[in-house]
A and B are shown apart, each in its own frame.
Chain A
Amino acid sequence: MRVALFVTCVNDALYPDTGWATVRLLERLGVEVDFPEAQTCCGQPQFNTGYRRETEPLVRRMARAFDGYDYVVTPSGSCAAMVRDNYPRIGDKALAEGRGSELADAAASLRGRMLELTEFLVDVLQVTDVGAYFPHTVTYHPSCHGLRMLGLGERPRRLLQAVRGLELRELEGAEECCGFGGTFAVKNPDVSVAMGRDKVRHALDTGARVLCAADNSCLTHLDGILRREAAPLHSLHIAEILASTEEEPFTPRPARGGGTSAGPSSARPTTSTAARSRS
């Protein structure tokens, strides 16, 4: 099985740890992972903001970059949904505009092979216990595109429930959007922040130490609020939890100041701080 990692542009630049966690996790499960360096971005920001034509070169690039792989796995529900739901639309519209079938073919080529990480684990590898160890309280926010466009359903929660040491806390209003929405976050900042604050409040109410999602774009927004409000809750991508084992436990990356998780503003749990219960 030839599996390519589509790390996504957000993870590449801002959350490389999520990419590495995905690689570690998949390799631990016996999957050989490749990273085609021709990949960049799925074009979701452009497409969702109304710049369909600007998305087209990226559709072609994605198809080229991932040609020949059985599966393309990505730790981002919204990027997987972009490829699966919106690429066909981009191809169809190009066809309707009389620009031949090249783009439609490129769009279609990835459709059946692009899988979100938890989908790949549960559906293709058919595992729910990935051998992870993460002794902390966690609450899970099911990001909208994964939840509704991909229909991930219970997959992420089943994976989390099988993690040793992890206590999963139910999140009130879990299925409600966090308010990120790509460029919505800056075009409608007041509504976006109002939604994000409500999500953060519900997450804090669970008493969990870690707010987890399968999409770092939502977590960028929520983490930005958590850090601004110095809230005692850390955001973490599900891949980093699933990659964590007793032998190789989750360790935070260096924070902005250079040290590791020096204070609340670093928002990355160390094993010791995350283990402390919230007072």
Chain B
Amino acid sequence: MSRTDLGMPTFPQAARVSTKDAGLRANLTHATHTIRAKRAAAVAELPDWPRLRAAGAAVKDHTLRHLDHYLLQLEQAVTQAGGTVHWATTAEEANRITADIIKATGETEVVKVKSMATQETGLNEALAHHGITAYETDLAELIVQLGDDKPSHILVPAIHKNRTEIRDIFTRTMAAWGRPAPDDLHDTPAELAEAARLHLREKFLRAKVAVSGANFMIAETGTLVVVESEGNGRMCLTLPDTLISIVGIEKTIPTFRDLDILLQTLPRSSTAERMNPYTTMWTGTTPHDGPRNFHLVLLDNGRTDTLADTTGRQALRCIRCSACLNVCPVYERAGGHAYGSAYPGPIGAILTPQLRGTSTPLDASLPYASTLCGACYDVCPVAIDIPEILVHLRERVADQKDGHRAERTAMKAATWLLDHPAALSATERAASATRRLHPNRLPVPGPGKAWSDARDLPDVAAESFRAGWKKARGARTGTGTGTGTGTNEPKHDKDKDTPR
């Protein structure tokens, strides 16, 4: 992943600002809680959900283990069907290949199907450098593009905007991009959708080139699949002469039958629908139907490296449903922009540091952007153990030469203390003896201040459990080597022994 935004604030720095944005918090809480409840109901309808989930994970795991084989099979099938396959190792390469194809058509405008891969590579900005304008046609992506904003959610890029804000964006900027918004535009969903529909229709009818991603690529047949809710994607996939699809190599699945499983789990997980409204599939080119030229750009951009990590590779199972974002309490408070990547939320916290590496402060902060509560793992339709990978990546970050030196020293010291119970007892005794001097707040910068800016520090007990036990019962419990002698001891006198 090349779009490492150098100088982007770390996650905690960005979250410091976003958690204080009451409007953003309200928009996110409302949206995530609504979809969260709907998803739970849609999933509960299926009696075999755990089996579907396991099957989906198994399909993706199998494909990832044999990805070299399936990618070659895919290339062959796409080529046989009249398409052209390009291999891109990096984001820059994918963008350059795409720009070259567009320039060869002589066009300077393209319409786009909502695509995470092109967000990842920063395609729109790259095309702009070549004098090519990319028009987003997904409603939410359109809102983000018109607002000169960045997406903050995988599925609902404008989740952070409410209706009034969207109305204002349309009124202010639509004219500069094409058909202006109606003069008396209200913020009702119907009026907003109609304004977008009329604005986009011009684009669809004029465009000669379209750019898309894909949700799945079927190796057996060379078929690409896009699932969507609005039908705008289908307009782009069928009307223009040239279609360029930029797809991460991990989107491959072996056969049509495998699609059956994932088309059941994806819509329910993402939009809480039994079936998404539009499923478009295309295989190469077909005379007199759809685009005459089809190019598939297979994007690596860090995926092969991720594949080499036996723990981290689970992340490549992701089918981009965004269920993990919608249940994540951290995402809900911090917002998507705090993750500084096309992939926010729990999946972003494990995917971005793997694709991009952990060398920048932002990327190194992402594995820590979670309480490890496990809600993301529970809802994941392909059972990615996100908490496990977060901890795994934290180890990678902690092992880096720069940074974390003080923390490692502290952790080593803690381990030493905890591996020497006598020293631990002495420390606890000292803490207990001075407990009345301990403040509720710590003004010195550091973990203590971070804790106590908004929370009281806990009291130290007058006597540790360890000390109390030794005093009350120490004579009975032997040496503390672990071979307890309790079972042969007489019943103790509770009132006498309990130190109250």
Contact = CB atoms under 8 A, between A and B. Distances in A.
Interface of A: 2, 4, 7, 9, 11-17, 19-20, 23-24, 27, 32-41, 43, 45-52, 54-55, 57-58, 61, 64-69, 86, 89, 144-145, 148-149, 175-177, 179-196, 220-221, 223-225, 227-228, 251, 253-258, 265
Interface stretch (B117-125, B177-185, B273-281, B445-453): B445-453
Contacts of B394: 48-50
A180 B371 contact: yes
Given A38-B480, A47-B391, A49-B407, A191 B435 contact: no
B226 to A, nearest CB: 33
Interface in B434-468: 435-436, 438, 440, 447, 450-466, 468
B188 interface: no
Interface in B402-459: 404, 407-408, 411-412, 414-415, 418-419, 421, 424, 428, 431, 435-436, 438, 440, 447, 450-459
Task: Pick from A32, A36, A45, A52 the residue with the most CB of B within 10 Å.
Answer: A36
Interface in B347-394: 367-375, 377-378, 388, 391, 393-394
B442 to A, nearest CB: 11
A34 to B, nearest CB: 3
Contacts of B474: 37
Contact of B415 (A54, A184, A220): A54
Contacts of B329: 176-177, 179, 195
| Interface residue SS majority, chain B | helix
B69 interface: no
20 contacts: A9-B418, A17-B461, A20-B500, A38-B481, A45-B414, A49-B394, A49-B411, A57-B415, A58-B419, A64-B481, A69-B484, A148-B373, A148-B378, A177-B375, A185-B450, A189-B454, A193-B454, A253-B462, A254-B462, A265-B456
Contacts of A55: 415
Contact of A12 (B375, B408, B414, B428): B428
Interface stretch (B9-17, B74-82, B126-134, B145-153): B9-17
| Interface size band for B | 35 or more
B458 A35 contact: no
Interface of B: 11-12, 15-16, 19-20, 25, 329-330, 333-334, 367-375, 377-378, 388, 391, 393-399, 404, 407-408, 411-412, 414-415, 418-419, 421, 424, 428, 431, 435-436, 438, 440, 447, 450-466, 468-470, 473-474, 477, 479-487, 489, 494, 498-500
A34 B477 contact: yes
Contacts of A190: 12, 15-16, 19-20
A54 B333 CA distance: 32
A224 B414 CA distance: 23
Given A11-B465, A40-B418, A65 B482 contact: yes
| Interface residue SS majority, chain A | helix
Given A188-B330, A190-B15, A190-B19, A37 B470 contact: yes
B451 A189 contact: yes
A50 B397 contact: yes
B241 to A, nearest CB: 48
A7 B483 CA distance: 17
A39 B483 CA distance: 12
The 4 closest A-B pairs by CB, nearest first: A181-B371, A37-B480, A224-B455, A50-B394
A46 B416 CA distance: 12
Contacts of B500: 20, 251, 253
A40 B451 contact: no
B12 A258 contact: no
B304 to A, nearest CB: 21
Task: Pick from A17, A23, A69, A179 the residue with the most CB of B within 10 Å.
Answer: A23
A189 B450 contact: yes
B68 to A, nearest CB: 23
A48 B372 contact: yes
Given A13-B464, A51-B398, A187-B368, A37 B477 contact: yes
Nearest to B431: A13
A79 to B, nearest CB: 13
A68 B482 CA distance: 8
B494 A40 contact: no
A181 B387 CA distance: 11
Contacts of A40: 418-419, 421, 424
Contacts of B453: 189, 193
Nearest to A12: B465
A262 to B, nearest CB: 13
A224 B451 contact: yes
B454 A228 contact: yes
